[in-house]
Amino acid sequence: MSTPTTGPDVLGAPVPRRDGRVKVTGTARFAAEVPMPGLLYAAFVHSTVAKGRITGLDVAAAENSPGVALVMTHRNAPPMAAPPAFALHPMGASGDNLPVMRDDRVRWNGQAVAVVLADTQERADRAAELVTPSYAAEPAVTTWSAAKARGTARASNYGMPLTTVSGDADAALSAAAVSVDHTYTTPRESQNAMEPHAATVVWDGDTLVVHDCTQLVSQVAVSLAEVFGLRPDQVRVSAPFVGGGFGGKGLWSYLILAAAAARMTRRPVRAALSREGVYRLVGGRTLTEQRVAIGARADGRFDAIIHTGLMAMTEHNAVPEAVTSATGALYAAGSFRLEVDRALMDTVANFYMRAPGEAPGSFALESAIDELAHELGIDPVELRLRNEPETEPVTGRPFSSRHAVEAYRAGAERFGWSARSAVPRARREGEWWVGAGTAAATYPYVRFPGGAARLVLQPGGRVGVEAAAHEMGMGTATVLAQITAERFAVPLTAVSVSYGDSTLPGVIMAAGSQQTASLAAAVAAAHRELVGGLLAAGAAAGTGSPLAGCTADTVATRDGGLCRLDDPDAWEPYDALLARAGLTELRAEQAAPPPAEMGAWSIHSYGAVFAEVRVNDVTGEVRVPRIVGSFDCGRILNARTAAGQFRGGIIMGLGMALMEETQVDGRTGRIMNPSLSEYHLPVHADVGDIDVIWTGIPDPRTPLGAHGIGEIGIVGVAAAVANGVYNAVGVRVRDLPITLDKLL
Amino acid sequence: MTTDRSVTVNGDPVPLPDDPRVSLLDLLREYAGLPGTKKGCDQGACGACTVLVDGRTGGDRERILSCLTLAVQYEGRSVTTVEGLADGDLHPLQEAFIDHDGFQCGYCTPGQLCSAVGMAAEARRGVPSHVTADVTRSEVELTTAEIRERMSGNLCRCGAHHGIVAAIATTYAGAGR
Ligand code: FES
Ligand code: FES
C-alpha cells in the first residue's frame, strides 16, 4: 500500500488504525475485562415505580445467599455527595445531580435501590432476585401529555436560554407568498453502544482506581473525587478502550455505586451492566415535538423561519435537545424565531446522543424545506442553494470556511439527483415504489478550553505524545500519531501514543466532535515549547550547531530534525541536538491556546445527504439501498477513519429514520423495550451502499484546518429518508421512526 | 469452585466450574481468562459473543452464540474463540478486517470474525439463506447480499458494516474457502 507514513503527506492519508491488531485478536482489554484478584461482581436491583419512597427492603435472603459479600442499600451505603452534573458544573460528568443511594426516595422507574456483591456474577444475579423492595408510590408524570399539561419553560444550554429572534418572523410568515407550517415529532432513543457500561474498581488505600468505559476520563475523575470527598489526584480513571459511546458514556450511578461498594468491602468490584441495566440507569436522547414554519417568496427565497421545539427533560439534569441550533446556521432568511422549551417528566435523566439537537432538529427543518420545495415547484436542491447565506444568519458573523454549495453540488452529481422525478409516486419496480430524497446537514465547530498534551523527544528520533483523550473507535490514537509525526517530521512508526487516562494532561472530552481540534492545538503548543527548549539547550551560540541562534520561530522540521526556515540545508537531527544539550530526552507539556477562533468566526461542518428509498406497495416496508453523503468539514486528517465516522453517523441516522425508539410505558414510566431484540438497530441487511465524499478544503482559522466529523454524519439522514419516502409514495411522515404502519 | 470436567478452548482444557448456571460466554470471560469474546446483550440479540465449536457437519466449525449456551453443554468438546482464530500470526480474515477498516471501537469485532468464519463454511456447504436464489446448489456464492443477510445477527453500532462486508468478501467470495 502506498499510504505515506512520514513527510507532509502523512496528514490526510488513509493510515490504518493503530489499535487494529489488538482489536482483531481480542487482546484489547475493555473496562469489564481488567483482571483483579479477589474480585466481587455487582448486580443491581432496580425500582419498579417511577416516584415514591422505599417502604420495605428485605435483604436477609440475599445476604444469606451463597457467595454474597454485601447487599448495599440506602440504609448502609456510605455517605456520598451528589455528583456534579454535566453542563451544570465545569468538570461535571454526571448525567444528573441526584445524590446516589442517600435516602429512600425513588425518582424514576429503574433507579438502583440495592446493589449486591458476590464472588461470581451468577451468585450476585441470583441474590439480587431475592431482594424484595416495597414502595409507597407517589403520582408521577410519565406521559408526554401529562408533562405538557404540567407546564413548559424555556430550556437553556450551558446556561444560555434557547431563544433566537431576528425580525418579526410571525408577521413575515403571514405575509409570505408561499408557506408551510407543520409539526414534527421524534422519539426517545438510546445510544446502545455495543459495549454495555462497565467498570472494574479498586481502592488502593484512599486512592480510587477506576477502569471505566467513559468518554470523559478527566471529568469522571474530578466528579468521583467530589462524590467521595477526595482530592482529584486521589482518583485515577483509565479507559484506553471504549466499546462505543455516542454520548452515552459519561458518569452514571453504576460507577458511583461500584466505588462505594468496593470501599465497604475493601475488595475490587466489577460492575458490568446488563443490557437492560443500561436502559434503566443511563439516559438516552429525549423526545421532541417541533414546529417548523417557513414563509417564502415565489422565487423561493425565505422571508421567515420559525422553528420551535419542546422536549422532555427531568428536574435533575441540564442537557436539552437544542433542536434549533442548526437552523440559525444553514439558511439566509429575512427573519427568524427559534425557541426551545422543555417539559419535565419523572424518568431517568435524558442525555446526549450523537449530534444532540442537530439530529432531531434537522429532521424537522429539512422535512419542512422539502415540503416547501414541493409547494413552490422548485427542486429541493435548488431551493437550498437559493437560500445560501453570505454571512451567518442572525449574527452576521463571517464564515471561516463554508463550501456547503460545492458539497451539495458534488453530492447531487455523485448521486445522480437529476434523474429523480419531481412528482411523487412516479417510479415503480415490481412491488416497490422508488424515490429519492435529500437533506442538508450542519454541525457547529467546537473546541472546549482545557486541551493539553505532553510531548517526549527520545533518542533515535522517537517521539511520545500523551493526552487524556479517548479512543472509542473514532481513530483518535491514529490521528494523534499522524499529527505528531507531521509536526516532528518523523515516521509514524517513531511515534508512541498514550491516551485514555485521567493522569495524562488535559481535559479533552470526546464530545461535540471537538477532540481532534483540541489535540491538534495542544500538540502544536507543546511542540513549539519543546523545539524552543531544544534549541536553547542544544543550539546555543558557540555550540557549532548549524542552528545556532535559532528560535522556535525561525526553524522548521524536516527529515527527523530541525532546519533553518531561511536555509533548509542548515539541518540537524534531533539526536545531535539532544546530544549537544547533554540530554537523553526532552519533555514539554502545554495547554492549547483558548479557542478564540470560535468567537470571531462562524465555523461549522456542512453536509448534503441523498437517499434512494424504496417502499413496498404491499407491506409498506421501507428499504434504503443507496445513500450519498457529501461533506465540507475542513481538512480531512485521515481519509480512512474519517470515512468510517461519516458512514457510522449515516447508519445511525438510518436507524433513527426507520426503526429506533425507546418506548416508555405511560402507566408506569418504565422503559418497555430495554433490549437489542426490542430496540431495533440497523443490521448488515439494512445497510446498503453508502458513498461518502468531501471537499477537503482546509479552514484557515482552525487547528490544522480541520472541523469536527464525528457527528455530522447522522444529521439530515432521517429527513433525507423521509423526503425520499414522500417522493416514492407521496406520503409525508412527520413522526419518526418511519415504520411501515405509517405508510399503509 | 471447579470440577474435573472440562471444555477444550483453543486447544487447551478449561475446567468447568461447579455452578451449572455459568454460560459458555462467562466461562471464557470470567473463568478462562479469555475476554476476547464480547458480551453485548447476554440475550442472543447482538452476536458479540459468537464463537466456533467443533461441528457435526463435515468437520466444519460452526458458529454459536456463547451467551445462550451453558458451559456444561460443551463438556469434552472444542471451542475456538477470537484468541485462537489464527494458525500463525493473523487469520486472513483478521488481516482483511485491518485492511478494510472493518471496525471502529472493536467491541463487535471478535463476534463478527468468528461469525464470518462459520458463515463462510455454511455457504460452502450449500446452506441457503433468505436471499439465496438457487437453493439446490451445493455451494452458495457469497455475494454482497448473501454476506449482509447471513451476518445480520452480528450488530455493529459504530456502523463499520461496509468494512466488515468488504473484508469478508475479499477473504471468502469466490475463493472457495
Ligand atoms: S452477547 Fe450473545 S448475542 Fe449478545
Ligand atoms: S466496531 Fe464498534 S460496534 Fe462494531
**How many Å lie between the alpha carbon of A194 and the closest alpha carbon of chain B?**
5
Q: What are phi and psi of A165, to 5 degrees?
A: -125, 135
Give the lowest-confidence range in A4-8, A604-608, A649-653, A701-705.
A4-8
pLDDT of residue A230 exceeding 80, the answer is yes
CATH number for the domain whose boundaries are A354-446+599-742: 3.30.365.10
Residues A447-470: tens digit of each pLDDT: 988 899 999 999 999 999 999 999
For residues B166 and B97, give the distance between their C-alpha atoms in angstroms, rounded to a whole number.
8
Grid-cell match 483453543, residue found: B10
Q: Is the pLDDT of residue A492 over 60?
A: yes
Provide the CB-side half-sphere exposure for A660 (13 A, CA).
25
Q: Pairing state of beta strands A288-296 and A302-313?
A: antiparallel
Mean pLDDT confidence for A236-263: 97
* pLDDT at residue number B141: 93
Domain boundaries, chain A: 34-139+194-244+249-281, 354-446+599-742, 449-594
Fold topology of B2-84: Ubiquitin-like (UB roll) (3.10.20)
Q: Does B82 touch chain A (CB under 8 A)?
A: yes
pLDDT in tens, A352-383: 999 999 999 999 999 999 999 999 999 999 99
Tens-digit pLDDT profile for residues B40-56: 999 999 999 999 999 76
**Residue among A256, A219, A244 nearest A87 (CA):** A219
Q: Is B104 in the pocket of ligand 2 (CB under 6 A)?
A: yes
Yes or no: say if A61 and A130 are a contact pair by the CB < 8 Å rule: yes
Q: Where in chain B is the domain with CATH 3.10.20.30?
A: 2-84
**DSSP character string of B45-112:** SS-TTEEEE--SSTT--EEEEGGGSBGGGGTT-EEE-GGG--SSSS-HHHHHHHHTT--SS-SSHHHH
pLDDT at A632 over 70: yes
As a whole-number percent, the residues of chain A with pLDDT over 70 amount to: 99
Per-residue confidence (pLDDT) for residue A5, from 0 to 100: 59
- A34-139+194-244+249-281 and A354-446+599-742 share one fold: no
pLDDT for B177: 37
Class (C level, CATH) for A449-594: alpha beta
Atom of ligand 1 at shortest range from CA of B65: 2
pLDDT band at B60 (very low <50, low <70, confident <90, very high): confident
Distance from CA of B115 to the nearest CA of A (A): 13
End-to-end CA distance of chain B: 41
Q: How far is the C-alpha of B160 from the C-alpha of B166, rounded, in Å?
A: 10
Domain B92-171: CATH class, spelled out: mainly alpha
Q: Which atom of ligand 1 is nearest to the CA of B44?
A: 3
**Gap between the Cα atoms of A520 and A707, Å rounded:** 11
Type of residue found at A451:
G
The CA distance from A476 to A239, in Å, is 13
A34-139+194-244+249-281: CATH topology is Aldehyde Oxidoreductase; domain 3 (3.90.1170)
Which one, of A122, A152, A415, lies nearest residue A274 by Cα?
A: A122
Best CA proximity match to A155, nearest among A358, A350, A341, A361: A341
- Percent of chain A with pLDDT strictly greater than 90: 92
Return the residue of A nearest to B153 by Cα.
Answer: A683
Average pLDDT, chain A: 95
> What pLDDT score does B174 carry?
63
- B105 Cβ closer than 6 Å to some ligand 2 atom: yes
| pLDDT (tens digit per residue) in A170-213 | 999 999 999 999 999 999 999 999 999 999 999 999 999 999 99
Catalytic site includes residue A711: yes
CA–CA separation, A481 and A491 (whole Å): 10
Summarize the confidence of residues A10-39 as an average pLDDT.
95
Phi/psi for A136 (5° steps) reads: -100, 100
Residue A158 has pLDDT above 60, yes or no: yes
Give mean pLDDT, residues A285-290. Answer: 98
Among A449, A303, A469, which Cα is nearest to A386's?
Answer: A303
> How high is the pLDDT of residue A8?
58
- Gap between the Cα atoms of A362 and A385, Å rounded: 17
Is ipTM strictly over 0.85? yes
State the pLDDT at residue B58: 64
Helices vs. strands in chain B: H and E counts, helices first? 5, 5
Residue B135 has pLDDT above 50, yes or no: yes
CB nearest to B158's CB, from A24, A473, A675: A473
Structural contact between residues B114 and B81, judged by C-beta atoms closer than 8 angstroms = yes
**Residue A261 to residue A85: CA distance in whole angstroms:** 22
Once rounded to an integer, what is the mean pLDDT over residues A508-527? Answer: 89
